[in-house]
Amino acid sequence: AQKITQTQPGMFVQEKEAVTLDCTYDTSDPSYGLFWYKQPSSGEMIFLIYQGSYDQQNATEGRYSLNFQKARKSANLVISASQLGDSAMYFCAMRGTNTNAGKSTFGDGTTLTVKP
């Protein structure tokens, strides 16, 4: 089985500041993929960033970076220079291999509010 835990139901950040959204995971797979998705109030799901379990470097995509600490089983999303448009729900997710091939597990999400 695989599990994703997001412990922050809601977060606030001031515009232009950086914010870290926490994600811890658990899996028995030797290799796996970790993802972050954004869901604005309009409801669509938007892919942000991917980290493979064997990747040596932390993933970055523009203002998004993933702080991957494999030993601690954490995959935190860092958003730099927050913008008002970053206000949304953010989901951490995992895809597995072996017995979990095809399984896709999401956390409960963190609602981020960016204050002007």
Residues that bind other proteins (CB under 8 A): 4, 6, 9, 31-33, 35, 43-45, 47, 50, 52, 91, 93, 95-97, 101-109
Running DSSP on this structure, what letter comes out for residue 98? G
Minimum CB distance to other proteins, residue 50 (Å): 6
Measured from the CB atom, the residue of 14 and 99 that comes closer to other proteins is 99
Tokens representing 104 are 């896709």
Residue 46 beta carbon to other proteins: minimum distance, rounded to whole angstroms: 8
Identify which of residues 55 and 63 has a Cβ nearer to other proteins in the complex.
Answer: 55
Closest CA to 32 of 49, 55, 6, 66: 55
DSSP 26-62: E---SS-EEEEEEE-TT---EEEEEEETT-SS--EET
Name 71's Cβ contacts closer than 8 Å, sequence gap at least 6. none
Give min distance, CB of 12 to other proteins, in A: 19
Nearer to other proteins, 42 or 116 (CB): 42
Task: Provide, rounded to whole angstroms, the least separation between the CB of residue 5 and other proteins.
Answer: 10
- Given CA atoms 8, 36, 47, 58 in this order, what sign does their dihedral have? positive
